[in-house]
Structures are given as structure tokens and as C-alpha cells.
Structure 1
Amino acid sequence: MAGSKPKLLSLDAFAKTVEDAKVKTASGGIITLVCVLVVLLLIRNEYSEYTSVVNRPELVVDRDVNRKLDINIDITFPNLPCDLVTLDILDVSGDTQADVLKSGFEKYRLIPSSNEEVLDNAPVLRNDLSLEDIARNPNKEGGGFCGSCYGALPQGDNEYCCNDCETVRLAYAERMWAFYDGANIEQCENEGYVTRLNQRIEQKEGCRIKGTAQINRVSGNMHFAPGYAKTSPGRHIHDLSLYEKHFDKFNFDHVINHLSFGLDPVKEDPNHQSTHPLDGYRLILNDKSRVISYYLKVVATRFEFLSGLAMETNQFSAIPHHRPYRGGKDEDHRHTMHAKGGIPGVFFHFDISPMKIINKEQYAKTWSGFVLGVVSSIAGVLTVGAVLDRSVWAAEKAIKSKKDI
């Protein structure tokens, strides 16, 4: 044992000094106090970082591509009556959802004279039936009333009947005939449709539309356009007769109150940062011949919280663009020529990403990281303090020796 002591002594990295050999100075006391304050400040910062929560994103392949995606819309058209607006959804898979406003959407009439929003309770036709189902005469053999379709459907053998205004309007749309306001059509006149529509036009009513639709997770577009639509192979046409009849009325100026895909995390947690860039977006052009487009890139997003709960939603970016559907030169950019074609309306072109972002809530530091940070802070400050103290002590000795000379 005696022979092993020198070897252990040579390995001692913490050499001791004799108490009598230590010299204490006022400058050393000041440096010590400063070091203590700095250490306490650094420890507080380390603890604040240790207890703070951060989101760490991770990019993975989205495995929910076969599920439907909700699209939530709340949009206001101040210069367009509710009777004139239709909403259709088309995608690259070939699926078409026509006149979606009849499926769970709420339409509010905006009355300028009283500055009110009134729920539009005008009767609507079921959109889960085809025109043939709606207009087919159930009493073909037994006679009975059979309303005229005005040539839009064959009625020679009483197979089809148009007994209400909506059926006539739908029949006109199937033949791509101009319907205008339904004037001189007996069913529309008797139901008060013509009077109601013209009254709303004269009052310069607007429309606010709220609701949720479901789309496939593929590229496509959702658009608001005037008049009934007819979809045929390679074509999607709207009846613009009433929209173009009044050259000094109607346009698609609008305010997007809200647009989101899937679950809205802001509704679930008011403190959550909004990921909806178009909320509150306003576009006023005062031009009825505009095709207004929004190009949306949608990415599925999952939030995983420290509590163990998780929430599925979607984030998206948006690029707005508008042009006259009659084409021609751009007034603001003289070297730009707009393409001719399309219809007036508001189009949301969505492109669904096959990737998914997972945002995981985590503490900024682990317990071991916090301890290591505290130890490093103390050691660093003490090392700098020791160097500073030695420098001050050496300077004091040098000054004192010069004075003694």
C-alpha cells in the first residue's frame, strides 16, 4: 500500500494549495459576486429552456389518401344574389359534384337596405336524383296533370312531366338552353320564383355561403359560378344567361371569411396559431367578367401534444390570380396577354400533397441536457472568473511594484 501512494498522487488533477498561501483581494470579491450573478442567470435560462415546449416537425408519407377530405368554406359575395350562385366540385379522377350548395350548406341573403343577414329558406330540389327520376311521370297510364317542359324533354307519350319551376330549370340546363329568370314559364310564375328573383336583383342583394363539402384527396377544383351547370365529356358549362342579361349588375367580388381543410385546430384550441392564409382575404375588382382563381397546395398535418392527444388537420398555401375571361392584354403589364376562355366565378384549384407533416410537442431539453447545461455554465463562468482574477491580480502587483520604485 505504501508503494502505491506516489502513483495515486501523480494522478491527482485537483492539486491543493495551503490556506496560508492564499491571498484574498477586494477585486477578487467583486469578480466572485459577478460570477455568482452570471451563474444564476444562466441557470435560470437553462431551466426556462428545459420547461419550454417546442414543435418538432417530421415529414412522412400520407397513408390516408383514400379517405375523403373535408373542405370548410365561409365566403361572402356582396354583389350576387343567392339564387344566382352554384357550387361545383370537379377532380382529376373524373368525379363531379354538381350544385353542392343543396347539400348541407347555409345561404344567407345580404340585404343592403337593412344591413341584415337573413337565412335563405327558398325551397331547393333534392340533388341526389337524376333529371329522369325527377321528371318521370308516375301516372303515365292514368292521366292526371303533367306540366309542360317547353320542349326540353320529350312529352309525346307523357313519359316526362315538369310540374314545378325547378324541374323546368334543370331540364333547360340539361339541354344547355338559356333560362334567364324563368319569365313566361307558367310553373315559375305560379310559384312566385320570377317575382322573388327580380325583387332580390332590384334590391342588389348579396349572399354569404357557409358549409362543408367532401373532396377526394387528388387534384381538382371547387368553384362558385352563376347559373345551373351541365357536365358532359370534356366540358363543364354554366348557364350565364341571367348573369349577362344585366350588364350593370353582378360580379364576383368577395370576402373569404374562412377556408380550411379538415379539422380546424383554432376552433379546438384558440391559442393555436392559425394555418389558414386566406381567412379575411378581400378581393374587390368591380368587374363582372373576371375569372378569379386561387391555387392551393394542401399538406396533411398531424399535431401530437404532450398530453398524449393528437389532432389531424391540414395546412395549405395559396396563390391568388384573376383575369378577364374574354382574354386580351393586361392593363398593368403591357407585355402580358391573357388567355381567352372560362367562365366568370371564383375557382379554388387544390393540389393535395402525398406527404404528411407530423408536429410533435416536446420539451426543448431533456433532464440530462438540463444538468449538463447547468454544469457547463458553472464551470465556464468559474474558469473565466479565475483567468480574470489572475489578470487583475497580476496588474495590481505590477502597478504596486512601479510605485515602490
Structure 2
Amino acid sequence: MSVDLKRGETLPIHINMTFPALPCDVLSVDAIDMSGKHEVDLDTNIWKLRLNSYGHIIGTEYLTDLVEKEHEEHKHDHNKDHKDDIDEKLHAFGFDEDAENMIKKVKHALESGEGCRVYGVLDVQRVAGNFHISVHGLNIYVAQMIFGGAKNVNVSHVIHDLSFGPKYPGIHNPLDGTVRMLHDTSGTFKYYIKIVPTEYRYISKDVLPTNQFSVTEYFSTINEFDRTWPAVYFLYDLSPITVTIKEERRSFLHLITRLCAVLGGTFALTGMLDRWMYRLLEALTKPSARSVLR
């Protein structure tokens, strides 16, 4: 273990998740870090797969609705007066044909049981931050028209893969295979992640820089008075300590020692078995005292 001295590098976030109850048209990814800067768009590579009610792929699209906002803007959007927001969206989208068509399309997708698989890589700065997947890309008016309220947004999800770098032999990513299904309720999931920078050193001297992590999960139910919309948040922080894992070969002397131990044990065991077998056969073949008297 040593102090993490990396500077100016990016942190790769590998995402592969399925939202079985939300169509791709309403899903968006919002990423922000503690510095307020957004480097996500430099190397963002996120794709969405449309899924039918059986989970089969029926379409693919590049995620163009990556939402990127400054801290203050983000807070402002959530704390803005609801009525003013609705009025603003009505002005912009109220009788707009594109908005109406989009609403009809999404409602049809919801009725058909469409889902969405989101996968790809986010390259972010190596500072604490968060990203979340939700319907926050929609304006409030359109979201209200589609869902009729936050409590009807179902963020049930399956995490196929969430990792922060390439996999090394023996790595365990605790969120892989996570299934969270909601029935007759809605709410927000928050995963608090502690990232540990890790170096894996192979026997060949090649070094694989990656990260492992631990996670704590929290779920909060949405009620009628909440102004927030359901989402799945991943809030991450980085450890200042790097863990180095090395592959090493055992020495020839160690091999000889183990070989001697195995041979010695085998010799001792066969000697014991030989003595036991001899005594058993002796007891079976020795004539009894009664038969001798007769």
C-alpha cells in the first residue's frame, strides 16, 4: 500500500444496466464532479438499447441527451417554483407538435412494456463526484404529461456491470449482478461508492492500473409531496491510498522443501498402513487357542 500520487488522469466508469420499466426515450445520464467541471463530453461513449417486454433488443441509439449542468444550475432546477416551471414549459412545449408526438410515442412504449439497456464508458476527472440515470433529461411539463407524477416513475434496474477500470485476476466488483425491482412503490436508489486505486503487477512485470471499490446502498421512497423525481444515483469518492497486488513465483528452494514434506508424509503414512495391515492379517490367520486344544 502507498499514497496515490496520480495527477491529471481520468477515471473510467464502465456502465452496463437495464431499466425494464423505462423506455430509452426518457432515460438520461447526468454526471457532475466536486469541482463543478464537466470533462465527461470529451470521451463519453454511452449507448442505449431499446428492449421489448421480453427483454429482446428492438433498437439501438447513441445517447445524445447526456445532461451536464453546473452545481448551482442543478440545485436551481430542483428548487425552482413548480408553477413557474410548468408555465415556462407550457410556453415552450405546450402545443408543440414534436413534444406531443414524443409524449404519444413514450406513452405507447410504456403501455407496450418497453425497457432500456444503458451501456458504455464515462471518462471523468479523478475527484469525488456522482452520476445518475433518471428521467431528469425531460422537462417537468413533458414528464408530468407522460407519467402523471413522480410516484409513477419506476426506476427498477439490473446492474450487469459497474466498474472503474479493467478487471484483473480475482477482482470482485460488488455491484455486478445486482437486481432491484420495485412493485407498487417508487423511489430513489443511492449507491455510495468508495474507490480504491489498484495496481496489478504481473510476473511479466506488466502493470495494470485499475480500481476496486466498496459500496453502501440506500433507498428512499417517493411521496406525493416530494418535488424530486426517482433516479438511480452513484456517488463516488476516491481513497488516497493505492493498493499494489503482485504476482510472484515461489522459489526453487520452496519447491524442494514442499516436495520433501510430501515425500516424508507419504513415507510415514505408507509405513503406518503397512503395520496395520500386517497386524490385521496376523490376527485373522493366527489359529485360536480353542482350535489348538481340540
TM-score (norm 2): 0.70
Change (3 A) 1:205 1:250: farther
In the alignment, the residues of structure 2 paired with residue 214 and residue 312 of structure 1 have an alpha-carbon distance, to the nearest angstrom, of 15
Q: What's the offset of the Cα at 1:304? A: 0.8
Q: What's the offset of the Cα at 1:108? A: 1.0
In the alignment, the residues of structure 1 paired with residue 67 and residue 37 of structure 2 have an alpha-carbon distance, to the nearest angstrom, of 15
Q: What does residue range 249-288 of structure 1 map to in structure 2 within 5 Å?
A: 249-265=152-168, 272-287=169-184
- The answer to whether the aligner puts 1:366 opposite 2:275 as a matched pair is no
- The answer to whether the aligner puts 1:186 opposite 2:83 as a matched pair is no
Q: Aligned to 1:197, which of 80, 94, 106?
A: 106
Partner of 1:161: none
Residue type of the alignment partner of 1:106? W
SS in 2 for 1:279: coil
In the alignment, the residues of structure 2 paired with residue 123 and residue 323 of structure 1 have an alpha-carbon distance, to the nearest angstrom, of 27
SS in 2 for 1:282: strand
Q: What does residue range 16-35 of structure 1 map to in structure 2 within 5 Å?
A: none
What do the CA deviations read for 1:317-336 (whole angstroms, capped 9, x no partner)?
Answer: 111110124499xxxxxxxx
Partner of 1:14: none
Residue type of the alignment partner of 1:299? V
SS in 2 for 1:120: strand
- The answer to whether the aligner puts 1:220 opposite 2:125 as a matched pair is no
Question: Cα RMSD (Å) of the superposition?
Answer: 4.1
Change (3 A) 1:185 1:327: closer
Q: What's the offset of the Cα at 1:201? A: 2.5
Residue type of the alignment partner of 1:282? V
Partner of 2:56: 116
Residue type of the alignment partner of 2:112? Q
- The answer to whether the aligner puts 1:80 opposite 2:22 as a matched pair is yes
Q: Aligned to 2:221, which of 306, 321, 324?
A: 324
Change (3 A) 1:69 1:346: same
In the alignment, the residues of structure 1 paired with residue 218 and residue 166 of structure 2 have an alpha-carbon distance, to the nearest angstrom, of 27
- The answer to whether the aligner puts 1:297 opposite 2:194 as a matched pair is yes
In the alignment, the residues of structure 1 paired with residue 55 and residue 132 of structure 2 have an alpha-carbon distance, to the nearest angstrom, of 27
Q: What does residue range 70-219 of structure 1 map to in structure 2 within 5 Å?
A: 70-96=12-38, 103-112=44-53, 115-121=55-61, 124=64, 176-177=85-86, 179=89, 184-189=95-100, 192-219=101-128
Partner of 1:10: none
What do the CA deviations read for 1:275-329 (whole angstroms, capped 9, x no partner)?
Answer: 211111001122553111111111111111112222111101111110124499x
In the alignment, the residues of structure 1 paired with residue 146 and residue 102 of structure 2 have an alpha-carbon distance, to the nearest angstrom, of 16
TM-score (norm 1): 0.53
Q: What's the offset of the Cα at 1:213? A: 0.4
Q: What's the offset of the Cα at 1:82? A: 1.1
Greater gyration radius: 1
Q: Using the aligned pairs only, state the percent identity.
A: 28
Residue type of the alignment partner of 1:366? S
Change (3 A) 1:97 1:202: farther
Q: What's the offset of the Cα at 1:223? A: 0.7
In the alignment, the residues of structure 2 paired with residue 201 and residue 371 of structure 1 have an alpha-carbon distance, to the nearest angstrom, of 68
Q: What's the offset of the Cα at 1:259? A: 0.4
- The answer to whether the aligner puts 1:351 opposite 2:248 as a matched pair is no
In the alignment, the residues of structure 1 paired with residue 94 and residue 31 of structure 2 have an alpha-carbon distance, to the nearest angstrom, of 29
SS in 1 for 2:9: coil
What do the CA deviations read for 1:167-222 (whole angstroms, capped 9, x no partner)?
Answer: xxxxxxxx844759x56213445xx4344223212212111101110122222111
Contact 1:188 1:194 survives alignment (8 Å) = yes
In the alignment, the residues of structure 2 paired with residue 202 and residue 373 of structure 1 have an alpha-carbon distance, to the nearest angstrom, of 67
Q: What's the offset of the Cα at 1:116? A: 1.9
In the alignment, the residues of structure 2 paired with residue 288 and residue 217 of structure 1 have an alpha-carbon distance, to the nearest angstrom, of 36
In the alignment, the residues of structure 2 paired with residue 126 and residue 374 of structure 1 have an alpha-carbon distance, to the nearest angstrom, of 60
Aligned residues: 253
Residue type of the alignment partner of 2:155? F
Contact 2:21 2:110 survives alignment (8 Å) = no
Contact 1:225 1:238 survives alignment (8 Å) = no
In the alignment, the residues of structure 2 paired with residue 296 and residue 284 of structure 1 have an alpha-carbon distance, to the nearest angstrom, of 21
What do the CA deviations read for 1:116-171 (whole angstroms, capped 9, x no partner)?
Answer: 2123348947989xxxxxxxxxxxxxxxxxxxxxxxxxxxxxxxxxxxxxxxxxxx
Change (3 A) 1:64 1:369: same
In the alignment, the residues of structure 2 paired with residue 238 and residue 248 of structure 1 have an alpha-carbon distance, to the nearest angstrom, of 15
In the alignment, the residues of structure 2 paired with residue 293 and residue 76 of structure 1 have an alpha-carbon distance, to the nearest angstrom, of 16
